[in-house]
Amino acid sequence: MPLLYLFLLFFFQLSGEVVKTYLNLPVPGAIIGMLMLLTYLALTPANENLKTTCQTLISHLPLFFIPAGVGILAYLAEVKAYGLSIGVALIAGTFIGFVFSLLVLKKVLRSS
């Protein structure tokens, strides 16, 4: 993972933060940075090193989610009190939302 390309990603991430702060947007800086990188990719010739750097980072996405998951420990009292009912609501809600999305996508994208 050549450092130059890691720097390029940091650069877009930082620029995204700057744009977000400056324009007071509700969108996270990283998503603005993603759009900037997308524009950059569309305008420049293909680069294998940049591709490798992106793929390496993406393949380790789960690692970067661990801290947020561990954060649930701060709500141990709530989890003990309502954990089961909220958990069931979350699983049922997610399942319904997922199936509904699949049905809508199937209907809309097939007919287009």
| Residues in 10-39 at the binding interface with another protein, rule: CB under 8 A | 10, 12-13, 16, 26-31, 33-38
| Whole-angstrom distance, CA of residue 8 vs CA of residue 44 | 13
Based on CB atoms, which residue is closest to another protein, 18 or 105?
Answer: 105
What is the residue whose two structure tokens read 């993972």? Answer: 1
Per CB under 8 A, 97 contacts another protein? yes
Interacting residue with another protein among 3, 23, 77, 108 (CB under 8 A): 108
- For the bound state, the minimum distance from the C-beta of residue 84 to another protein, rounded and expressed in Å, comes to 9
CB 57 within 8 A of CB 37: no
Site string for another protein, 38-77 (x = CB under 8 A): x-xxx-------xx-xxx-xxxxxxxxxxxxxxxxxxx--
Rounded least distance, CB 112 to another protein, Å = 5
Degrees, nearest 5: CA angle 3-6-10 = 135
Helix or strand or coil: residue 71? helix
d(CA 76, CA 44): 49
Contact between 112 and another protein by CB under 8 A: the answer reads yes
